[in-house]
Structure 1
């Protein structure tokens, strides 16, 4: 199936004059469009906002928001070859790879702007601010983000828990209730251990927050709150790189949101921590 950019390129000769203006701008500046509104794009191309919406429908996409999500998917998958096995056929220097990794990570983080629903982010910040206990769980490449989240939310005074031990968490989840939150991290949204623990926590009344890709995966459907990352890598890959950066980016946003809501009262605890760090330095 053609990508959205390939589709625009192929249909260009069928477009009206107005549609050609929009299509040409998108082909020349695809990386800028995901962060735009219909008003932004209309101003850049000199057409009306309604023309932008009609353009999306002309190429078979129901809305501008859906168009942006498809474009994000297109752009991020273009960079995914950095971590697939085709890299063995390339002759890159370490510095070439450093540049590619940097660009891929940057692209994944920027693409979060379009893949993430701001209302879902607001909901997540609300439940985390008031949570009695938060359990973070991920496997494979998602472990890094889960550990980082647990550390950060511990600093906020929250009872934060992370463990890679599936059976340990099974023994802990029965004590969870509606005051608690289970944060499930999975790039694919199909990892069995993550799905089963999230389902168990939900049955106990805990809120389930999913940090997963923007495809409609089982975890996406199961969660109460969905924080979507862009699709930046294939499932079968050398290792997790840009997808991990997207997860960490969302964790940082949640951490700062809750920190801000806690207010200045929390500063005394941060100062105590800082003083102990200084005292224990060798």
Structure 2
């Protein structure tokens, strides 16, 4: 874990915390709640919890203790180039809504740029390139991300399947082998119907690549190559906004890496598919 990027790390670990622990972390993330000289005793008194619980929460978030978490958070939140994401307010004008949405999108993309693991992404690209068959599993809005990737790969001559229903995913998973790859896209990493297919694909021997926001989800644990796309849990501009944007950006990075590993074939097939669509350079 990159402790210099506490915000995305914290957001990806929060789903595994209890409600009490989550409320503590939400307080940590409030502007000006923590400062360099804030003591654990002071925070415990303000939140009416024990110092031991603060240490426990800090360790669940991947830090050695409260001080390391506090130092990492304050360093990021007080950085001169840090811009906090904004939430919509009921009386926001259209101009204010546009500004908030676009600035939050910029923040999300800047965050993923500093956070993404290039070695894991390159390994995922290699796995897809070497696979006998490629399957994409997702549910709900994440299916759009998979369909986007399917179309991108087809343009360079690579065929992938996107089963859109639970029974189709289960049938697909049952027929996979160690020569196949499954890319799973899930914000929560714990959608029940989706996980049934992932478990079966794993049992069949397929290599699992995942893109999720939940570091401790079963999906992350089952994945051979987990990729993380952190985003705000805020319902309007987070889960239903920047979460999709960050996943699409991750897919773009993965696609470009694949193209870069097979430049001649990719260029030839791009020209062929462009001509088929009647496009002109």
Using the size of structure 1 for normalisation, the TM-score is 0.70
Out of 43, 68, 85, the position equivalent to 1:61 is 68
**Cα root mean square deviation, aligned:** 3.4
Out of 24, 30, 37, the position equivalent to 1:11 is 37
**8 Å CA contact 1:132, 1:158 repeated in 2:** no
Separation (CA, whole Å) in 1 of partners of 2:201 and 2:232: 28
- Name the residue aligned to 1:157: 157
Q: How many residues align?
A: 228
Runs of 5+ unmatched residues, structure 1:
15-55
**Aligned pair in 2 of structure 1 residues 235, 223: CA closer, same or farther (>3 Å)?**
farther
Where does 1:228-243 land on structure 2 (aligned, <5 Å)? 228-234=228-234, 240-243=240-243
Using the TM superposition, give the Cα deviation of residue 13 of structure 1 relative to its aligned residue in structure 2, in angstroms.
9.1
- Name the residue aligned to 1:222: 222
Using the TM superposition, give the Cα deviation of residue 60 of structure 1 relative to its aligned residue in structure 2, in angstroms.
2.5
Separation (CA, whole Å) in 1 of partners of 2:237 and 2:189: 16
- Name the residue aligned to 2:9: none
The structure with the largest helix share of the pair is 1
Using the size of structure 2 for normalisation, the TM-score is 0.70
Using the TM superposition, give the Cα deviation of residue 182 of structure 1 relative to its aligned residue in structure 2, in angstroms.
0.8
- Name the residue aligned to 1:19: none
Separation (CA, whole Å) in 2 of partners of 1:250 and 1:243: 11
Separation (CA, whole Å) in 1 of partners of 2:209 and 2:255: 14
**8 Å CA contact 2:137, 2:143 repeated in 1:** yes
1:18-51 per-residue CA deviation (whole Å, 9 max, x = no partner) reads xxxxxxxxxxxxxxxxxxxxxxxxxxxxxxxxxx
**8 Å CA contact 1:233, 1:242 repeated in 2:** no
Does residue 205 of structure 1 match 2:205?
yes
**8 Å CA contact 1:181, 1:209 repeated in 2:** yes
**8 Å CA contact 1:186, 1:212 repeated in 2:** yes
1:215-273 per-residue CA deviation (whole Å, 9 max, x = no partner) reads 32221112111110113224698961100001000000000000111121332221122
**Aligned pair in 2 of structure 1 residues 276, 207: CA closer, same or farther (>3 Å)?**
same
**8 Å CA contact 2:138, 2:185 repeated in 1:** yes
**Aligned pair in 2 of structure 1 residues 176, 63: CA closer, same or farther (>3 Å)?**
farther
Runs of 5+ unmatched residues, structure 2:
1-23, 41-62
**Aligned pair in 2 of structure 1 residues 57, 218: CA closer, same or farther (>3 Å)?**
closer
**Aligned pair in 2 of structure 1 residues 3, 138: CA closer, same or farther (>3 Å)?**
same
